[in-house]
Structure 1
Amino acid sequence: MAEYRINDLAEASGVSVRNIRVYQDRGLLPPPTIRGRAGWYSDQHLVRLNLISRMLERGYTFATISELLHAAHHGMRVEQILRGSPKGGRFRNFKRAATITIAELKKTLNASDRSIALSQKLGLLAKDGTHYAIRNPELLEGAEVLVKAGVDLEFLLDRWVRVQDDLEDVASSFVSIITDKYFDENLPDLGEAGVSEMADLIQTVRPMAHEIVETTFRRALDEQISQAIGRAATYFDATTGDDEPDSTTPNSSGDQPDPGYETTDIGTLNTDTGR
């Protein structure tokens, strides 16, 4: 995979260095990989720049391009974009090239030097002079809510790193569905047509993989939430059980007494109090 310094990327894409920086500030172009004091761009950046240029030529605004690129990255469809309603969280109200100071990070997120470094590694923040550019306001807002609830930020970010590593394996397994078909002893003779066919198939796999991962994770997350609430309900029942009548003991008429509870799969729900 080719690598570019920013001047080389500008020459290859026909986009000025200034505009490349503008696209980064507006969240349209991912930041480069930093090694030492140098920023290195990849072929993916070049492809993204070419796509942005074509969309601008067609009259799309920066806001629209940002939404469409985000949707494409996550394998979303147009109707999924339109279904969402605009949100006005504190961080989302920042201008697109929003920045935050170390003092603000420590105040709002109780951030340490390590958590700030992890946030940069994960693409949540990017160094911008003496400030940090906010790359994902939605995630930053969610992190703030959790921190206020007592969740340690480093614990959250460490879990994110672990998930990222796991998902890299998942992504590799999906791509290998196609590459295993082509990467064999015949690879040197694949030719331009074969490479094009392989690339098209990989692009076909992309939205399918997103849908599989999203659906599977949503189902697994719902199951884990139900189990967690069920355990909490069990503990609640155990602590209040001595004060409740024994609903398994028949009354004098032979019928079961009505304790005023509605049985659910996660415990008991008091229909009078809503608890």
Structure 2
Amino acid sequence: MTVRNVRAYTTRGLIESPRLEGRTGYYNDTHVKRLTLIRSLLDRGFTLAGVENALGNFPNTAADLAIDLISLFDSPDTETEPQQLPRVEFEQLTGTTLTDAELQRLADLELVEVEGDSLLLLAPDVVRPGAAAIALGLSTTTILDIATMQRQHLRNIAADVVHRVSEEIVQPFIDAGLPESEQLDILQKVDAMIPIACQSVLGMFRAELRSAIETEIVDKLHDLSNDDTRSSA
């Protein structure tokens, strides 16, 4: 982070002015925490205007908690690292040749980045199972359609879960004035909610998948029974 950036953030009111002694400005831990939060938001795709809007009335005392909450998703357990693969090697995983349009759909879903003859798998834990499903016989179009549908539905579910946790757990803490003695408890509760939410979604999906399979089997057996009846006639 450059001196020019720090001065720009100060001008925009994102951080307080440093303590001046003569022509020298001195920054303290509060400034550092605030700058760390700003950098973290920028790294996650916020524009500077977006950061300014988000932190306009954000108290300095909450910077630590915000950084900790954001950092919950930076641990190795929460996501797999992006992986670089030659395009030909990725196509070997799928057992087929992908068109440029299909790769663009993957890129639009923010699952890969196309870099010449290579692919950067942004979410290997999503892309590799999809490639395996294609290798098993599903069409690339089907997998892309399913991924698009999953992304939209899961985004809505995630937004609703986060909103409810925010309103019922975090907001009372904010209304109480962000008591420092409760910050660790809030952080632990939010941290615990992440695997709970993931397990709930996975468990319910498994149950619905099982039910859908049973329904499909019954439908197919019914169709076969009708075919046999027509053949006998």
TM-score class normalised by the smaller sequence: 0.5 to 0.7
Residue 107 of structure 2 is aligned to residue 116 of structure 1: no
Decide whether the 8 Å contact of 1:174 with 1:205 is kept in 2. no
Partner of 2:188: 200
- Whichever structure has more helix as a proportion of its residues is 2
Question: Which residue type is aligned with residue 137 of structure 1?
Answer: R
- The SS at the match of 1:126 is strand
| Displacement after TM superposition at 1:123 (Å) | 4.7
Question: Which residue type is aligned with residue 197 of structure 2?
Answer: A
| Displacement after TM superposition at 1:231 (Å) | 0.7
Q: Work out which of the residue numbers 207, 210, 227 in structure 2 matches 1:239.
A: 227
Give the alignment's Cα RMSD to 1 decimal: 4.1
- Write the distance in 2 (CA, Å) between the matches of 1:4 and 1:176: 21
Partner of 2:151: 164
| Displacement after TM superposition at 1:238 (Å) | 0.6
Partner of 1:260: none
- The SS at the match of 2:136 is helix
1:228–1:50 CA distance, 2 compared to 1 (3 A): closer
- Write the distance in 2 (CA, Å) between the matches of 1:130 and 1:48: 34
- The SS at the match of 1:133 is strand
- Write the distance in 2 (CA, Å) between the matches of 1:186 and 1:230: 53
Per-residue deviation, residues 26-79 of structure 1 (Å, max 9, x unmatched): xxxxxx86x9xxxxxxx79x8489756xxxxxxxxxxxxxxxx2xx559xxxxx
Question: Which residue type is aligned with residue 165 of structure 2?
Answer: I
Decide whether the 8 Å contact of 1:114 with 1:154 is kept in 2. no
| Displacement after TM superposition at 1:144 (Å) | 2.8
Per-residue deviation, residues 226-275 of structure 1 (Å, max 9, x unmatched): 1111111111011112567xxxxxxxxxxxxxxxxxxxxxxxxxxxxxxx
Q: Work out which of the residue numbers 214, 222, 226 in structure 1 matches 2:202.
A: 214
| Displacement after TM superposition at 1:161 (Å) | 1.7
Partner of 1:229: 217
1:117–1:195 CA distance, 2 compared to 1 (3 A): farther
| Displacement after TM superposition at 1:180 (Å) | 0.8
TM-score normalised by the chain length of structure 2 = 0.56
- The SS at the match of 1:210 is helix
- Write the distance in 2 (CA, Å) between the matches of 1:172 and 1:121: 20
1:217–1:103 CA distance, 2 compared to 1 (3 A): closer
- The SS at the match of 2:119 is strand
- The SS at the match of 2:98 is coil
Moved more, 221-230 or 159-168: 159-168
- The SS at the match of 1:227 is helix
1:165–1:104 CA distance, 2 compared to 1 (3 A): closer
| Displacement after TM superposition at 1:190 (Å) | 1.8
Question: Which residue type is aligned with residue 139 of structure 1?
Answer: G
Structure 1 residue runs without a partner (length 5+)? 10-31, 36-42, 53-68, 75-95, 245-275
TM-score normalised by the chain length of structure 1 = 0.48
Q: Work out which of the residue numbers 81, 101, 104 in structure 1 matches 2:87.
A: 101
Question: Which residue type is aligned with residue 166 of structure 1?
Answer: H
Structure 2 residue runs without a partner (length 5+)? 1-36, 48-66
Give runs of aligned pairs for residues 24-63 of structure 1, distance below 5 A. Answer: 47=71, 51=75
| Displacement after TM superposition at 1:179 (Å) | 1.1
Q: Work out which of the residue numbers 183, 199, 211 in structure 1 matches 2:171.
A: 183
